[in-house]
Amino acid sequence: MAMVSPVSAITQRTHTIRVQMASRQEIEGDSVVSRIEDIIYVAVAKDVKDSKSTLVWTLQKSGGKKVCIIHVHQPAQMIPLMGTKFPASSMKEQEVKAYREIERQLMQKTLDEYLLICRRMGVRAEKVHIEMDSIEKGIVELICEHGIRKLVMGAAADKHYSRRMMDLKSKKAIYVRQQAPAYCHIQFVCKGNLIHNREGNLHGADVEVASPLFQVNPNNETGQPNHLRSQSVTVVPTTRVALSNPAQDLFRRVRSVDIKTFGFSPINTEGLSAPKSNLDADGDSCESDRLSGSSPHQGSDYSSFSSEVAPVPYVGTEGSENGLELSELHQYKEDLHQSSPPSVLDGSIDDTFYDQLEQAMAEARNAKREAFQETVKRGKAEKDAIDSIRRAKASEIFYFEALKQRKEMEQALAKEKEELEKVNNLCSEVKEELEIALDQKSSMERQIAESEQMVKELEQKIISAVELLQNYKKERDELQTERDIALKEAEELRKKQGEASSTHMPQFFSEFSFSELDEATRNFDPSLKIGEGGYGNIYKGVLRHTQVAIKMLHSHSLQGPSEFQQEVDVLSKLRHPNLVTLIGACPDAWALIYEYLPNGSVEDRLSCKDNSPPLSWQIRIRIAAELCSALIFLHSCKPNSIIHGDLKPANILLDANFVSKLSDFGICRLLSQDESLNNNSTLYWKTDPKGTFAYMDPEFLSTAELTPKSDVYSFGIILLRLLTGRSALGITKEVQYALDSGNLKVLLDPLAGDWPFVQAEQLARLALRCCEINRRSRPDLGSDVWRVLEPMRASCGGSSSFRLGSEEHFQPPPYFICPIFHEVMQDPHVAADGFTYEAEALRGWLDSGHDTSPMTNVKLEHCNLVPNHALRSAIQEWLQQH
């Protein structure tokens, strides 16, 4: 059996250690590359819902690897402002910077939402972003900048996904696939499905990414990595010197083989060196280990480390035995036998030599073992240091994240504290309002209880009133029957007497045939209808060359022949400037013919029907005075006073000069002194309530007793309507509340012009007195109301032919006199100051250069003059009488 040289065993063992250390360096270098390859990058959009499916798919396929989220922030070119958008180039730099900061904050919030999804799925994640105008170019820039080797991005929007989708539809994805570096492996996903897979060029990746991890031997001109390069190690023998003892010569040769000759360095600050000998692949390192007295599996670290290294031969590729040439060894043996005396070859000498040799080999093995252990310890220390640095960086990252979260939580806590204070303040305010509301509720409940009690009392009164009304109805039916019988008897008596009855009371109207009425109204043309009421339709017509108003009774009229006859009897015997004139009647058709009044009713003018101009406050005061005059005339008629019973603005007509005329006497009642309830002077007529509810006397509704004070109540409601222009329902309460709170000006009708407030307040209080619930509290028209209205009418330029008392006044009223000429006016005109002057006198005053009022010396607002037709008619009437 051939004996292995000790030098050869030492050399082989040393070379094996160097190969193992080089292999470890290669493994550590590859581990860095693998850490780079283990990170999976995911490209996400600015809206979480657009890239959530792509991120979830990546996390599910990551296998626990680390994920890095990349995002390209694209600044907006159009910036919203005040409900519209403006180009960024047209706005101020400060405004653009502020908006860009808001955009970045929103981007960070979006990326934090992506990281939250990763944490919920138990995957570590980081975020990387860049700001560019082009998203696809930004992704390629991030790939090149960070050396990204694995990338996942969307192939198209989720809404464009279909099962037949086989290729990319997004322009950004197509651009990245074409422009990304070859070493980047890209997977394109859409709605949780892999659409396209672009394989990366791994060779190009190794050259570009892994090359910095390898050291280049300065003696290597090609620059090839150490772990891919091997060299043979040859020990060149030096000139031998003959020794007296061959054993000592051999021992010195073995000792002269320094470990550093084989490129082994136990302590290397630059990392593990690569082996410097190219060994034969057919060799067996196990034999050299056995001969050297060491096991390849000695120690756990050594076994794990050597298991990753290929077997190392002990014979060099250039025919050397552990670096010593075979010819030199044979020559050394021959010299040993030739130079040694026979005693040297004895067993005693051989034992000494081999003891020394074994001792040298043992020392070499110990040195080798200590060097390897030091190497292993150094590797562990380096690994521990790397782990410590990694943990320190992770701890630093966690610290900064915790610090950031703490700041955010402090800010959120501060905001919540402010909101809590606001909520507490709001709660206190709500509590105060609730207490007020509870107080109001309790007061309202008390009012409701009182109202319910009042309702119950009123219900009892209504029940008793209904019973009384039923009794009155029975009595009325009986009286109606008696009245009809009396009318028939009176009609028969009139026929018998013939013309005799007409001699006692002159008849001031004519009788017309139905054919005349039909001709006057062109067969009752609908275009000539000017009104409609409870009695029937009213038509405009021309009868005997005179414009007239014809009121026709229709079949379902609320009034009957009795009302027709009563209105004929009343209007045919009365004449007053403010009562409508009855021209005639048609008994065959139950039709009444009146004078035609072109300005319609006061109701029409208050509501400005057909866009008619509103009534001025002067005309309204004059209408109130004229209506009061007509009512005084009716109530003072003898032997029977007349109660109109249906006073309302619709029954007050206006002629061409806006002189008011009271009409519609169908339900009026005649009172005599015999019809008094008792011995006092209060007269009434018991009848069913008829008329318009809002203008009816409340006592008349409850007692069915119609008195002159019933007309006073209706007059008060009309006066309030002339003041305010409002509806009659509830008008008394509104005016009373306005007077109590001092806000009467708010209720005055602005269409009437600028009311004189003193007169308006006086009229409002007078009207409320007329509307008292108790009729005994209402004022008398002749003694109270007329004394207030007559001076007002006079100051407004109005006149009336009706005079209280029987004495004739031959002196002209003062308002007939011109303030400038001091003569009775012939052509009165109203100036801007509200006073009436003779037109010629006022024009002379203005032409002389004056621009102030002759009465108040206040500057006139304008120089326009308005004819006072009403005063002119009154002056002409007075001149005719005198």
Active site residues: 646
Known binder of ligand: residue 551? yes
Residue type at 259 in one-letter notation: I
Please give the C-alpha separations between residue 176 and each of 71, 75, 144, 180, in angstroms, as whole numbers.
Answer: 14, 20, 12, 5
Q: 244: helix, coil or strand?
A: coil
C-alpha–C-alpha distance, residues 372 and 754, integer Å: 119
DSSP label at 813? P
Please state whether the peptide bond connecting residue 779 to the residue before it is cis, i.e. omega within 30 degrees of 0: no
C-alpha–C-alpha distance, residues 290 and 288, integer Å: 5
C-alpha–C-alpha distance, residues 370 and 537, integer Å: 136
- Both tokens of 564, joined, read 């027709």
Total Cβ atoms within 10 A of residue 160: 12
C-alpha–C-alpha distance, residues 291 and 293, integer Å: 5
Contacts of 194 (CB under 8 A, 6+ apart): 57, 187, 188
DSSP label at 817? B
C-alpha–C-alpha distance, residues 271 and 58, integer Å: 37
Half-sphere exposure for 793 (CA within 13 Å, toward CB): 24
Please name every residue paired with 536 in a beta bridge, in sequence order, or none if there are none: 553
Do 836 and 830 touch, CB atoms closer than 8 A?
yes
Q: In what side-by-side order are the strands of the sheet with 529-532?
A: 510-511, 582-586, 591-595, 546-553, 536-543, 529-532
Please name every residue paired with 595 in a beta bridge, in sequence order, or none if there are none: 548
- Which DSSP string corresponds to 173-233? HHHHHHHS-TT-EEEEEETTEEEEEE---HHHHIIIIIGGGS---TT-SS---GGG-----
H or E element at residue 263: none
H helix intervals, 498-513: 500-504
Do 758 and 791 touch, CB atoms closer than 8 A?
no
C-alpha–C-alpha distance, residues 535 and 551, integer Å: 8
DSSP label at 69? E
Q: 586: helix, coil or strand?
A: strand
Please name every residue paired with 641 in a beta bridge, in sequence order, or none if there are none: 671
If DSSP states are collapsed to H, E and C, what string results for 18-61? HHHHHHHHHHHHHHHHHHHHHCEEEECCCCHHHHHHHHHHHHHH
Contacts of 689 (CB under 8 A, 6+ apart): 696, 700, 701, 704
Rounded to 10 degrees, the C-alpha dihedral 96/99/100/106 comes to -170
- Both tokens of 118, joined, read 């990763």
Residue type at 239 in one-letter notation: T
C-alpha–C-alpha distance, residues 154 and 194, integer Å: 9
**Residues forming the annotated binding site?**
551
**Residues forming the annotated binding site for ATP?**
551
